[in-house]
């Protein structure tokens, strides 16, 4: 009997990889190794519905129990022995493999400064994190979110909708700074209009308290009183377990365009742990931490694990991501960068709905939409085709029913 294909990471990417292998006709054994004792679950509801208490934890289940997979849960992988072709578990057990898919995801950056050990200082990544934080919010604490990216903004919005006193702090001048100043200004107005206090352009010096969080000291010397603090400073890939494997690792496990490790054709990678070249990045290596990348990358990695390297599909899907804040959906397609200019191509007269493009040498590199989900399908296609921003602007002008009268839909 051939050794199984082993998926390391009981995650969305892992589930999609296993599903793709089964739908691709693989009838051999698939073993999935997971650090958590739970079957895989989806993460977007954790900072919203689960945290707010309107969704039960069970609703996040990804249905992995219905797949023909041998689940090895509650014990993480601690190494990859490529010479013997074994995945080594933390308890010393060795799981043989014919091919392996790395889907270990990422973990949130923790607070390493003063106050790191205080009660009431949290990160949000796992379902257990969300349940603990949900219970904390029921005490109606004063909340500080340290970081104004997706997680910081979503937690702040959820807590504010629960009626809590919320302050969001970030060293950047705007929230969601990765998507350009225009989007950041819009999100800033959204949060201020709902009563979130924003302290932007200032870092955090310390989290203060005796045994529990009592406040956050900022770099300008001021203090924000708080009973609870959420650290939302981004994430790092879970790759330390591969440090002695001989795989080339940079921002993630370095892969080619088929999500195959550049060091070993029998190792594939999907989700947050993968670093691969993408056409929108001028073939530079990227790493994407969002749901759709884990889902689509898992599917590609699973399908490619059944093929020889020369027959594998390239993973060139336009990245997409979304965030829900105060009932407003913010969507992104492509690869925006903080320094990219943004040009509003469509805007509803009251500006509660808009689409902005990020140009790159006249071509559209990315699009950001606020409350315009149907438009994003079309914009994603324009990104795939490398359309010029001026061509898109002209097409929008011709389509008077897009979002209402466009505000800046003429070539400039």
What does pLDDT average to over the chain? 93
Query: What are the tokens at 390?
Result: 């001026």
Q: What's the pLDDT score for residue 412?
A: 32
Q: Three-state SS for 175?
A: coil
146-175: pLDDT as tens digits: 999 999 999 999 999 999 999 999 999 999
Q: What's the pLDDT score for residue 400?
A: 59
Query: What are the tokens at 66?
Result: 């219905």
- Asked whether 97 and 77 are in contact (CB, 8 A), the reply is no
Q: Which band of pLDDT confidence, cut at 50, 70 and 90, is reported for residue 403? A: low
C-alpha distance from residue 339 to each of 181, 195, 287, 400 (Å)? 8, 28, 18, 31
Return d(Cα 241, Cα 80) in angstroms, integer: 8
* C-alpha dihedral sign at 280, 284, 287, 293: positive
Residue appearing with tokens 């993630």: 252
Q: Three-state SS for 15?
A: helix
Q: What's the pLDDT score for residue 404?
A: 54
Q: Provide, rounded to the nearest whole percent, the portion of the chain with pLDDT above 70.
A: 95
- pLDDT of 387 over the 90 cut: yes
Architecture of domain 320-398: 2-Layer Sandwich (3.30)
Alpha carbons within 13 A on the beta-carbon side of 372: 27
Asked if the domains at 5-107+236-307 and 320-398 fall in one CATH topology, the answer is no
25-71: pLDDT as tens digits: 999 999 999 999 999 999 999 999 999 999 999 999 999 999 999 99
Q: Which band of pLDDT confidence, cut at 50, 70 and 90, is reported for residue 409? A: very low
Q: What's the pLDDT score for residue 364?
A: 93
Domain ranges of the chain: 5-107+236-307, 121-231, 320-398
95-99, 114-118, 392-396: the lowest-pLDDT one: 392-396
Q: What's the pLDDT score for residue 359?
A: 87
User: β-strands 204-208, 215-218: how paired?
Assistant: antiparallel
Q: Which residues of 35-73 are buried (b: 16+ CB within 10 A; e: fewer)?
A: beebbbbbbbbbbbbbbbeeeebeebebebeebebebbb
Q: Three-state SS for 96?
A: strand
Helical ranges in 282-348 per DSSP H:
291-304
| Fold exhibited by the domain 5-107+236-307 | FAD/NAD(P)-binding domain (3.50.50)
Helical ranges in 194-288 per DSSP H:
none
- Asked whether 98 and 85 are in contact (CB, 8 A), the reply is yes
Residue appearing with tokens 């330390």: 240
- Asked whether 51 and 26 are in contact (CB, 8 A), the reply is no
CATH fit for domain 121-231, picks 3.40.50.1100, 3.50.50.60, 3.10.290.10, 3.40.50.1950: 3.50.50.60
Q: What's the pLDDT score for residue 179?
A: 75
pTM of this structure: 0.93
Cα-Cα end-to-end distance for the chain: 65
**Higher-confidence residue: 303 or 408?**
303
Q: What's the pLDDT score for residue 388?
A: 93
Return d(Cα 28, Cα 43) in angstroms, integer: 29
Residue 255 φ/ψ, nearest 5 degrees: -125, 165
Q: Which residues of 116-140 are buried (b: 16+ CB within 10 A; e: fewer)?
A: eebebbbbbbbbebbeebbebbeee
Q: Which band of pLDDT confidence, cut at 50, 70 and 90, is reported for residue 411? A: very low
- pLDDT of 342 over the 60 cut: yes
Strand partners, 144: 167, 229
219-276: pLDDT as tens digits: 999 999 999 999 999 999 999 999 999 999 999 999 999 999 999 999 999 999 999 9
What is the mean pLDDT of the segment spanning 322-330?
A: 94
- Asked whether 105 and 238 are in contact (CB, 8 A), the reply is yes
Q: What's the pLDDT score for residue 2?
A: 85
- Asked whether 206 and 365 are in contact (CB, 8 A), the reply is no
- pLDDT of 406 over the 70 cut: no
What is the mean pLDDT of the segment spanning 317-343?
A: 89
Contacts of 248-251 with C-beta under 8 Å, sequence gap 24+, read 250/275, 250/285, 251/275, 251/285, 251/287
- Asked whether 121 and 231 are in contact (CB, 8 A), the reply is yes
Q: Which band of pLDDT confidence, cut at 50, 70 and 90, is reported for residue 177? A: confident
């Amino acid at each position: 009997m051939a050794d199984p294909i082993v998926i390391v990471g009981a995650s969305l990417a892992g589930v999609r990889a296993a599903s793709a292998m089964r739908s691709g006709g693989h009838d051999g054994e698939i073993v999935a190794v997971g650090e958590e004792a739970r079957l895989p679950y989806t993460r977007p509801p954790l900072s919203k519905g689960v945290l707010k208490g309107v969704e039960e934890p069970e609703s996040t289940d990804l249905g992995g129990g219905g797949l023909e997979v041998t689940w090895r849960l509650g014990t993480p992988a601690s190494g990859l022995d490529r010479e013997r072709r074994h995945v080594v578990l933390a308890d010393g057990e060795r799981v043989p493999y014919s091919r392996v898919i790395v889907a270990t995801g990422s973990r949130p950056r923790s607070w390493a400064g003063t106050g790191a050990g205080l009660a009431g200082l949290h990160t949000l990544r796992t379902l257990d994190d969300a349940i603990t934080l949900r219970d904390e919010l029921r005490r109606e604490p004063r909340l500080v979110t340290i970081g104004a990216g997706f997680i910081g903004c979503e937690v702040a919005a959820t807590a504010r909708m629960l009626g809590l006193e919320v302050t969001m702090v970030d060293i950047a001048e705007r929230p969601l700074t990765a998507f350009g100043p225009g989007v950041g200004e819009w999100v800033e107005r959204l949060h201020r209009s709902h009563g979130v206090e924003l302290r932007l352009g200032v870092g955090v010096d310390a989290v203060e308290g005796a045994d529990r969080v009592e406040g956050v000291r900022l770099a300008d010397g001021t203090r924000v009183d708080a009973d609870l603090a959420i650290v939302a400073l981004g994430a790092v890939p879970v790759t330390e377990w591969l440090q002695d494997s001989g795989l080339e690792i940079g921002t993630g496990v370095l892969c080619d365009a088929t999500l195959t490790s550049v060091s070993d054709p029998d190792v594939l990678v999907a989700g947050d742990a993968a670093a691969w070249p993408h056409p929108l990045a001028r073939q530079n290596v990227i790493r994407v931490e969002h749901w759709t990348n884990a889902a689509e990358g898992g599917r590609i990695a699973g399908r490619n694990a059944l093929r020889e390297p020369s027959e594998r599909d390239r993973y060139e899907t336009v990245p997409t991501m979304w965030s829900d804040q105060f009932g407003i959906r913010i969507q992104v397609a492509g690869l925006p960068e903080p320094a990219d200019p943004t040009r509003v191509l469509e805007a509803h007269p009251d500006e509660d709905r808009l689409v902005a493009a990020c140009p790159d040498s006249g071509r559209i590199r990315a699009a950001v939409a606020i409350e315009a989900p149907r438009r994003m399908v079309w914009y994603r296609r324009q990104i795939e085709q490398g359309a010029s921003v001026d061509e898109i602007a002209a097409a929008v002008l011709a389509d008077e029913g897009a979002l209402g009268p466009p505000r800046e839909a003429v070539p400039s």
